[in-house]
Amino acid sequence: MGGRLEPMGSPQAPKAECGPRWIPWAIFAMGFVLRAGHVWALRDTALVRFPTIDPAAYLARAQEILGGQLLPRDVFFQDPLYPYLLALAQLVTGGAKLGPYFVHALVGAWVGVAAYVIGRRYWGWRAGAVAGAIAAGYAPFLYLDGLLEKSAFTLAAFSSALACFPAPGAVSWRRLLASGFLIGVGALLRGNFLLLAPVLAGLAATQAHGIRLLHRAGIFIAFGAAAFAPIAPFTFHNYRVSGELILTTAQAGTAFYLGNNPQNTSGGIHHVPFNRQVPEHEADDWKREAERRSGRPLSRREVSQFWGSAAWEHIGRNPGLGWWLPLLARKAELVLHTTEVPDNATIYYAEKHSAVVRWNPLRFGVVAALGLVGAASWLLRPRRHALLWIAFGVYGTSMLLFPVSDRFRAPLALGVILGCGAAVDLLWRALRERRMTRMVLVILGSGAATWIANHSLLLQPQDTNVTARNAQLKTAHDEATAWLNAKEFEKAEAVLREAMADEWLSKKARLNLDLATALWFGNRDRAEAKRLATRSVKAFVDSGESVPDGYRLCGEIFESEGAAEQAHYWRARAEAVDSPSWLDLQQRAEAAAAAGDMPRSSGLLDELVLMDRSRPVGPVPQQAYEMLARQQLERGDRRRASETVALLRSRGGTVPSDLEALLR
């Protein structure tokens, strides 16, 4: 079974035209030069100099790996492979700040070559050159390759797996095993690639003609084994530390819940209020809330199952047109739209600092004009194009199960780029054969695809979080936060002043609080800082959202003014949010009250009640509400005490008669 198995009489794919040998080299060079130019443009930006959120977590984990801690102490929660690749990139480049970014540029440039190889196989070298050139210069790929995150390697693994996949009618065992292995690598970078492995194994087995059933089973098993080979060490680690079978990560259920929960109305990334959505806290936050709701300790696997079941229960209560189908329709609209839905970075940040992205016309809305038509044409010859429509169809369908984002869509965008190659082939053959009807159909289809990809979003609610404005808000906040963390307060203020010249952005509590922080700690205008901080924190609290950085800032402000009790109160609220366990806040508040520390007790209780109000779960013990209301009355704040009691009633609690009498 070594080498190449080619049964007699099996239909072979037409031999691909090789084309000029310089084309793949030109595509690679073009891709690398554009990416290197983009990286160089970002070299002094805040998010490169001071990485935050996911990039910061990846860098920290890479440093642990380089320091000898090869495996985490718990099961993997994030897709596990990228920190190892980042550690290797740092090692190879000698720890240079931009070293990993240039490694990304090399890996991203390879994607264009792989697209060329795929296009050449199916439609000839001209169509392959078109697909490869577009992949080399596609603006969202450049943007993603300029981030310390896994998209560059994900695309490289996926495109290479497709390029290696055996041609219809024959099985090259080397190609089969290489393709399976690369799909396994992809699954360690993007979890839903696990869905592709059995599907592509089945395709490899069924597309080989003229062989016995036993040989087909061998092909299926070989592909599956090759896919599992890179996954196995991570599965073994998960089993060793937990005693449970977890293939790659323990986040499938939580990701499904994020994309299908009552508060997600857009289909994009939506942060639930009980989870801080930063790598160092998110796994524990999901676990803590699941245990609070279930009333028992849960393992990591049980946490994932809990949240998956919670999402399905909500779908079951709101099937059809009531909620889920409209949500799926919104996701589908985003998947096929030019909007780059942000996750924890935005393409607008890249546009702001890099002319390579800012002036780049190759966006989804442009590429989709031909790409969607070409992709649809695969179904005209379904057996020949089975790999493409099955692989991208399965991946695209999986996107509807989870939150839509720019990095999540990147592998599907590769399919649209390959569709451009198919469309060019259609037009070339129609022109050469003088088939005007076919040319007209392609042109009409292109017009329809242009509208689909570029129309004003029709299905999104008015307060959607996926608009360009919200992406600009996130861009300004992320950049300012990076400068604030680096104590570069003047630069943070400059970023915020520039963004808040826009009237809509100037009214956002998040940016006002960031500006207050820059003004206060930069010793610029402390009176203005206090005004902005108190107004912003009130806006957050009124909307039911905790804001620990705002609480800490208020604590600093009031302490500087000698208002020790108010400072203590706000710091207690920050303590409550940052607490490793929210389940014992009432007991800690009671202990503080018994010790005479009423500001701390009130702060803990206020935050506990706020957190209970902001999430759709059962109420905390009503004693917390009673205790808070009594403390508010002791301070003479009858209005807030009445609000607390009203909130208790809305939670189904009963108000003691003596507390009722005090409120009359």
Share of the chain above pLDDT 90, in %: 50
Write down the pLDDT at residue 7. Answer: 38
**Would you say residue 270 has pLDDT above 90?**
no
Based on the fold, state whether residues 196 and 235 are members of the same structural domain. Answer: yes
- Residue of 459, 482, 499, 510 whose CA lies nearest to 330: 459
Residues 320 and 349 in one domain: no
| pLDDT value at residue 342 | 85
Final residue belonging to a domain, choices 526, 543, 560? 543
Residue owning tokens 């082939």: 425
299 shares a domain with 354: no
Structural domain span for residue 131: 14-149+345-362
CA 605/CA 363 separation, integer angstroms: 49
Q: Is the pLDDT of residue 646 over 60?
A: yes
Are the C-beta atoms of residues 569 and 635 closer than 8 Å to each other? no
User: Higher model confidence: residue 637 or residue 363?
Assistant: 363
* Side chain identity, residue 397: T
CATH number of the domain residue 532 falls in: 1.25.40
Q: How confident is the model at residue 588 (pLDDT cuts 50, 70, 90)?
A: confident
How many structural domains comprise the chain? Answer: 5
- 369 and 358 both lie in a single domain: no
Q: State residue 6's pLDDT score.
A: 40
Is the confidence at residue 445, as pLDDT, over 90? Answer: no
- DSSP state letter for 262: T
Q: Is 325 domain-assigned? A: yes
What single-letter amino acid sits at 33?
V
Give the model confidence (pLDDT) of 141-170 as tens digits.
Answer: 999 999 999 999 999 999 999 999 998 876
What is the pLDDT at residue 475? 85
Does residue 44 sit in the same domain as residue 100? yes
What pLDDT score does 22 carry? Answer: 93
Cβ-proximal residues to 275 (8 Å cutoff; 6+ apart), any chain: 281, 282, 285, 286, 289
Residue 494: inside a domain, yes or no? yes
Whether 384 maps to a domain, the answer reads yes
583 phi and psi angles, rounded to 5 deg: -75, -20
Query: How confident is the model at residue 616, as a pLDDT?
Result: 44
SS3 172: strand
Would you state the structure tokens that stand for residue 49, as one six-digit string? Answer: 């100099």
Helices 489-499 and 468-485 cross at an angle (nearest 10°) of 170
- 283: in domain: yes
State the alpha helices, DSSP H only, in 343-467.
347-353, 355-358, 364-377, 386-399, 406-432, 436-454
Any domain includes 107: yes
- Centroid of chain to Cα 363: 19
Least confident of 5-14, 100-109, 279-288, 641-650: 5-14
Of 242, 269, 290, which marks where a domain is finished? 242
pLDDT of residue 146: 93
Q: What share of the chain is helix, strand, coil (3-state, %, to 5)?
A: 70, 0, 30
Last residue of a domain, one of 543, 575, 601: 543
Q: Is the residue at 160 inside a domain?
A: no
pLDDT at residue 582, rounded to an integer:
63
In a domain, 263, yes or no: yes
Instruction: Enumerate residues 6+ apart whose C-beta is below 8 A from 449.
Output: 368, 369, 370, 371, 372, 373
Q: Which amino acid is at 254?
A: T
Q: Rounded CA gap, 120 and 446, in Å? A: 22
Helix (H) or strand (E) segment spanning residue 4: strand 4-5
Q: Which residues pair with 268 in a beta bridge?
A: 404
What average pLDDT does the chain have? 86
Cα maximum dimension of the chain: 94
Do 539 and 412 share a structural domain? no
Same domain membership, residue 128 and residue 28? yes
Q: What is the Cα–Cα distance from 83 to 149, expressed in whole angstroms?
A: 9
**Tens-place pLDDT, residues 376-429:** 999 888 889 999 999 999 999 999 999 999 999 999 999 999 999 999 888 888
For 440, other C-beta atoms within 10 Å of its C-beta total: 11
Residues 304 and 352 in one domain: no
pLDDT at 42: 94
- Which of 49-63, 82-96, 257-271, 582-596 holds the top average pLDDT? 82-96
Alpha carbons 54 and 60: distance in angstroms, whole number = 10
Percent of the chain with pLDDT strictly greater than 70:
93
Statement to judge: residues 30 and 130 lie in one domain: yes
Residue 580 pLDDT grade (very low, low, confident, very high; cuts 50, 70, 90): low
Residue range 507-517, pLDDT digits in tens: 899 999 999 99
Q: Which residue has the higher pLDDT, 48 or 661?
A: 48
Task: Round to whole Å and give the CA distance between 147 and 647.
Answer: 44
For residues 371 and 413, state if they share a domain.
yes
- Pair 601, 593: CB distance under 8 Å: yes
- Domain match, 36 and 23 both: yes
**Does residue 350 share a domain with residue 415?**
no
Residue 655 lies in a domain: no
Alpha helices, DSSP H, located in 455-508 = 468-485, 489-499, 503-506
